[in-house]
Structure 1
Amino acid sequence: MKLSGSLKVGNASIYLDYNATTPLRAEVKAELLDALGEPNNPSSIHSLGRIARRRLEKSRRQIATLINSPPENIIFTSGGTEANNLALKGGQCTDIIVSSVEHEAVLAAAVNAKKISVDKNGIVILSELENVISDINGDCFVSIMWANNETGVIQPIKEIVEIASKYGARVHSDAVQALGKIPINFRESGLSMMSISAHKIGGPTGIGALVIADDVELKPTLVGGGQEKGRRSGTENILGAIGFGKAAEVVAQNPAENKRVQNLRDLFETKLSRCFPKVNILSQNVPRLGNTSAIVMPGVLAETQVMSFDLEGICLSAGAACSSGKVKRSHVVEAMKIGDEPATNTIRVSLGWDSTELEIDFLVNSWLKIYNRANKKI
């Protein structure tokens, strides 16, 4: 079965896992094909090297336009994970504070960090954050994601920065999931650093960036040739950067895209709730990314759901997709302290620019079929 407007992935017809990765946008593919096969080393001083340098800096400017940042403050990395590691390990601060719902890339890079609790909706408890910062004798570094990859919950970054600033603390935000889905203004955010990635907005995998404020000094975690102004050595991934820049340009030129996707997500949740009034949609009444739904299916493990939906021709996931293909209890949902079942039975539906209402209808019908089958009601 192939539905109009959907992305064909292997034997699946419907792709609803945009928070894991996105399809490559057509505009990005065309840009990459144009540059493919060229000798792209921007450190070379000959004419082809200079062309590569111009391509690299153009990409930097395209990304800067999307997030309102000085282009020279964008450091290209191999992805969001490296950007997070560079921020946490290159910031040279021993006292690090994170939230309990951060991506594994942050939690693993800051194993000794103090963790701030979240409420039942997954929002950082600001009073606890202030108490922890005020108790630290000396400089500290706060890293809290802009939007959660599993639930879509948007954190109060403005208030977090205001609290941290009272005590002279710097703030980094993992904005990998937020990029392209909500407006981001780095200059006005008050953040010291921010991580972003291309493959969440229709760009290629293997390319990301750490954005830094003017006054930030980083100790590089990768040393060698001194690329990226000595902040990240290694020949730049020119093709990746070109794709990242083009994807950022496309997103910036299509502001109405997110509203259409949010309307589609809301329609999906409405239809599902009508068919199954007891459905539990996590964090439904707090600010969320407009494309994301985290849904608890009573009595059915997330792993079983993912496999069942796959057999129906639907690609979605159980929370984060960065665990070597393994489905495990969600540390994000566990941190929300809303019971055992949500931590094991929650799936994530994340829509994108290619999603359609026809696909939503098929998803709702499949959801009910899987639930009824699992609970032996048919």
Structure 2
Amino acid sequence: MHPTIYLDYASTTPVDPAVAKVMMDCLTLDGNFANPASRSHRPGWMAEEAVDIARHQIADAVNADAREIIFTSGATESNNLAIKGAVDAIAQENKHIITVATEHKAIIDVFEYLTTKGVEVTYLKPAKDGLVSVSQLEEAIRPHTVLVSIMHVNNETGVIQDIERLGAVCRDHNILFHCDAAQSTGKCDIDLSTMPVDLMSFSAHKTYGPKGIGALFIRRKPKVQIIAQMHGGAHERGFRSGTLPTHQIVGMGKAFEIAAQERLHEQARIGQLRDTLWESVRHLPDIRLNGHASRRVANTLNISFGQLDSQQLMPALMPLAVSSGSACTSATMTPSHVLTAMGVDQVHAHSAIRISLGRFSTNEEVDFAANHIVDVVSKLTAL
């Protein structure tokens, strides 16, 4: 039997060996294991220094001030803290917020929750290519709009939104702009010194770091006010309480440092692999590429296979590890909310497969995957 070929990097990435090494050095008695908040002894000072170094590594990767980086348990918590915290901090009776119908559930569910608190919500419907236009956002803004949240890179299609132009609209209307960037670190150039973004969420495990750790960028100038959602010690300058997990934080810092160093070379190589795979399968009958053909990250292909149901197709594609969309909703039998919001019909939404490559993908794996997909789909279509 052929060994498993992992093609689900958009779901999670394996930890880079260099990241695992620095994490291991923070776990045992002979390592840097202490509580970073313990400032009465040397082990605590060492742990605090390690956290500070990691904070700077993350800030450098996105060109931000290290004081603007707050550690969380992941992008989901960062999204919750940013959106709920910002809305809570605004002393205004009527509040209106805007997002996109193709956002991750970590955004959609937060917005749905806020409707139970009396907040008005608008969901922008993207074009068939997955992109939202500046004019759409401008038309949705109301006098009492207080926040807009639009993800940088879509987790299912890899489509890249024009954050610079959308953020500029928010700046012009004095509206806070939040961006979920869980899928874009290591793939896109992020320069928060110039990008008109007030709050940005990050995840380590999408960037070859550990699970259970993330960060939130909170802009200092102009200063963004948010209300903490977790209380119990006023850690992270009062924004997020809880003992800092040194081993996870140094892992995230190292992962972001590597991602920044390797981004251009790595994405060029991965993009070639993705294009090779697509060229090999695109001749199959009734096959469709979902999302913008060029404005997308290098590693992701979201493909619909005509009348074939993805829940039947994925087991047949073993040993390829692929998905039918977001890992957070893969247990459901309903078609992707991302694809349906883009106007993909039910048949093609049900037959969609997400293939995502990564740092450890090889030419040999892609060649095998391409031939295997063509073989399996051809046989199933004939049946």
Match of 1:315 among 321, 335, 342: 321
Q: Give 1:228 shift.
A: 0.3
Distance between the aligned counterparts of 2:80 and 2:286, measured in 1?
41
Q: State which of 203, 210, 220 in structure 1 corresponds to 2:209.
A: 203
Q: 1:324 to 1:314 in 2, by over 3 A?
A: closer
d(CA) in 2 for partners of 1:41 and 1:31?
Answer: 16
Structure 1 residue 232: Cα displacement? 0.1
Distance 1:308 1:237 in 2: 41
Out of 251, 260, 266, the residue aligned to residue 257 of structure 1 is: 266
Report the 3-state secondary structure (helix = DSSP H, G, I; strand = E; otherwise coil) of the residue aligned with 2:45: helix
Partner residue, 2:108: 107
In 2, the alpha carbon distance for the partners of 1:49 and 1:101 equals: 43
Query: Once the 2 structures are TM-superposed, how far is the Cα of residue 338 of structure 1 from its aligned partner?
Result: 2.8
User: What is the CA–CA distance in structure 2 between the aligned matches of 1:265 and 1:222, rounded to whole Å?
Assistant: 41
Amino acid at match of 2:122: K
Q: Describe how 1:111-260 pairs up with structure 2 within 5 A.
A: 111=112, 112=115, 113-133=121-141, 136-214=142-220, 215-255=223-263, 256-260=265-269
What one-letter code is carried by the residue in structure 2 that aligns with 1:23? P
Match of 1:57 among 52, 56, 67: 52
Give the equivalent residue in structure 2 for 1:95: 96
How many angstroms does 1:198 deviate by? Answer: 0.3
Change (3 A) 1:115 1:314: same
How far off is 1:264 after superposition?
Answer: 0.9
Matched position secondary structure for 1:91 = helix
Which SS does the other structure have where 1:124 is aligned? coil
The question of whether the paired residues in 2 share the 8 Å contact of 1:139 and 1:168 is answered with no
Q: Does structure 1 residue 73 correspond to structure 2 residue 68?
A: yes
Map of 1:330 onto structure 2: 336
Calculate percent identity across the aligned residue pairs: 36
Please report how far the alpha carbon of residue 375 of structure 1 lies from its aligned counterpart in structure 2 after TM superposition. Answer: 2.4
1:120-173 CA distance string (max 9 Å, x none): 00101322210111xx22341000000100000000111101111221111000
Structure 1 unmatched runs, 5+: 3-11
- The reply to whether residue 23 of structure 1 matches residue 8 of structure 2 is no
The answer for the alignment partner of 1:47 in structure 2 is 42
Partner of 1:36: 27
Q: Which of 267, 270, 281 is the matching residue for 1:272?
A: 281
Q: Is it true that 1:342 corresponds to 2:351 in the alignment?
A: no
In 2, Cα distance between the equivalents of 1:207 and 1:326?
Answer: 26
1:278 Cα offset (Å)? 4.2
Give TM-score, length-normalised by structure 1: 0.93
Instruction: Quote the Cα distance in structure 2 between the aligned partners of 1:76 and 1:300.
Output: 43
Q: Do 1:62 and 1:248's aligned partners in 2 also have CA atoms closer than 8 Å?
A: yes
Give SS of 1:186's match. Answer: coil
Partner of 1:296: 304
TM-score (norm 2): 0.91
Structure 2 Cα separation of the partners of residues 372 and 285 of structure 1: 24
> Aligned to 2:291, what secondary structure does the other structure show?
coil
Distance of 2:109 and 2:350 partners within structure 1: 22
Listed one character per residue, the Cα deviations across residues 42-100 of structure 1 (whole Å, up to 9, x for unaligned) are 11112111111001011001111111010111000000100000011000253210011
**Partner SS state of residue 348, structure 1:** strand
Please give the alpha-carbon distance, in whole angstroms, between the structure 2 residues aligned to 1:176 and 1:362.
29
- Matched letter for residue 54 of structure 2: S
What is the deviation of 1:200?
A: 0.6
Secondary structure of the residue aligned to 1:140 is strand
1:270: Cα distance to partner?
1.1
Range with greater deviation from structure 2 (278-287 or 335-344): 278-287
- Alpha-carbon RMSD across the aligned residues, in angstroms, is 1.5
SS in 1 for 2:375: helix
- Separation in structure 1 between the aligned mates of residue 73 and residue 282 of structure 2, nearest angstrom: 40
Would you say the 8 A contact 1:121–1:286 is kept in 2? no
* Number of residue pairs matched by the alignment: 363
Q: What's the secondary structure of 1:355's corresponding residue? A: coil
Aligned to 1:187, the other structure's residue is in SS state: coil
Deviates more, 1:76-85 or 1:260-269: 260-269
Distance in 1 (alpha carbons) for counterparts of 2:292 and 2:65: 35
Deviation (angstroms), 1:323: 2.4
Partner SS, residue 135 of structure 2: helix
Q: Is the 8 A contact 1:181 1:290 kept in 2?
A: yes
Structure 1 stretch displaced more, 28-37 or 198-207:
28-37
Q: How far is 1:13 from its partner?
A: 1.9
